[in-house]
Amino acid sequence: MRKHGWIVLAWTFVLGLFVVTTSAQALDREALKAEIKKEIKEEMKAEGGLLSGIEDRIKFSGLIEFGGAWQDIDYKGAAPAKENESDLALTTVELTAEAEVNDWVNVAVTFLYEDATFQEGDEAQVTLDAATLTIGDTEQYPLYFSAGAMYVPFGALLTHFPDAPLIDQPLTLSLGETREKALLVGVEHQAFSVSGYVFNGDMDETGEDNKIESYGLDVNFSFDDEAGFDVLVGASYISNIADSDGLTDALEAAATVKDYVDGFDVYLHVGYAPFFFDAEYMTALDEFEPGELGDKKAQPAVWNLEAGYNLDWGKNLEIALKYAGSDESGALGFPEQRYGIALNQEIFEGVIASLAYLHDDYEDDDVDGRDDREVVFAQIAIEF
């Protein structure tokens, strides 16, 4: 081999040795970094550390619903006299994070996206739906406190039908669901539960100051046994039903009400083996003045009755029948009578496919001039 060949070979050996040595040092540094990170994490998870039991103290849950619907609407002499439409919608995306700060303090935060079927206009946005802190441990002491943005306990809002905004959510939810920044005090003792709350609502009395003066109360009894019998019975009261989400939207043009109108709700659930029956009635306890809900005085009331059967053929199939209705609710767009049937088929654990049919008959003073409506709605819901 010529002399310059030996020189090239020597330099190649030196360069290779340098590369190998440098790579080994880099690997050693990365391994050292990984080991340090591991030791820091273990230290933080040690008793009293920042990450101590974090995987046990923070829990995530969620819900995704996607559906399609077809509806046929007949109008009372208005143009067009008939409307036929269909739509697809990602109706609900919900994500909740719950953290157990300690045995006596818990916090929960829920983000919500809702895209109502047949909703025109801008796409829905992700919102902070609820955020609460709760102090109390009802397993040790019956009294507890909650504060934050919450849905106050007015009514049970019972339903076995797939819930989709503007399609088939129960009329009790449309009239009574109330999201407020509230302070709640509750007591749970064995089968009994009582909760009371106060809040400063969006809808004020005309000429009055904006202050905390709305309140409510819910009382219920629940029971179940090993034989498959379960029952829930309760009643709710709210001092200002105009602060419900549905009524606030309808009263937007009025801005305020002459006097607060209180509301009342009574509910019942009975189940025995595969059978179930739900009943709920909700009403305003006084009349809204002309110009607030339509051109005349109105005392809206709604009801929802559902009965059904769970057929276990390896995967559970729930069959539910509905009769619902309303009174003096034409300005709210509620049907005077509603009939329906729903099939909820379990596909996998946490995965439900639903198919529902509804028929609505409307009052003469329906805000949209409708006579009747037929709806077929299919949905798949994944809960995790």
- Can you give the residue ranges of every domain in the chain? 1-52, 58-383
pLDDT of residue 201: 87
Q: Is the pLDDT assigned to residue 25 strictly greater than 90?
A: no
Render pLDDT for 272-283 as a digit per residue (tens, 0 to 9). 999 999 999 999
pLDDT of residue 35: 57
DSSP 8-state secondary structure symbol assigned to residue 243: G
Whole-number Å distance between alpha carbons of 183 and 150: 9
11 conformational bin, left if phi > 0, alpha if psi -120 to 50, beta if neither: alpha
pLDDT of residue 45: 52
pLDDT of residue 125: 82
pLDDT range class, residue 24, cuts 50, 70, 90 = very low
pLDDT of residue 44: 47
- What does the DSSP assignment read for 291-347? TTSSSS-B--EEEEEEEEEEEESSSEEEEEEEEEEEES-GGGT--SEEEEEEEEEEE
pLDDT range class, residue 121, cuts 50, 70, 90 = low
Q: For the chain, what percent of residues have pLDDT higher than 90? A: 63
Whole-number Å distance between alpha carbons of 106 and 73: 47
Residue 26 tokens read as 């880099």
Whole-number Å distance between alpha carbons of 318 and 355: 11
Residue 99 tokens read as 């953290």
Render pLDDT for 279-308 as a digit per residue (tens, 0 to 9). 999 999 999 999 888 888 999 999 999 999
143-163 average pLDDT score? 94
Torsion sign across C-alpha atoms 52, 58, 59, 62 = negative
pLDDT of residue 98: 96
| β-pair partners for 187 | 143, 194
pTM across the whole model: 0.83
pLDDT of residue 115: 85
C-alpha distance from residue 29 to each of 24, 25, 35, 38 (Å): 9, 6, 10, 14
Q: How many helices (H) and strands (E) does the chain have?
A: 4, 18
Is residue 280 a contact partner of residue 263, using CB atoms and an 8 Å limit? Answer: no
Superfamily of 58-383 according to CATH: Porin (2.40.160.10)
pLDDT of residue 86: 92
Is residue 82 a contact partner of residue 373, using CB atoms and an 8 Å limit? Answer: no
Query: Residue 125, exposed/middle/buried by CB under 10 A (0-12, 13-18, 19+)?
Result: exposed
pLDDT of residue 291: 87
Q: Any alpha helices (H) in the chain, and if so which ranges? A: 3-45, 54-57, 171-176, 245-250
Between 169 and 305, the more confident residue is 305
Q: Is the pLDDT assigned to residue 124 strictly greater than 80?
A: no
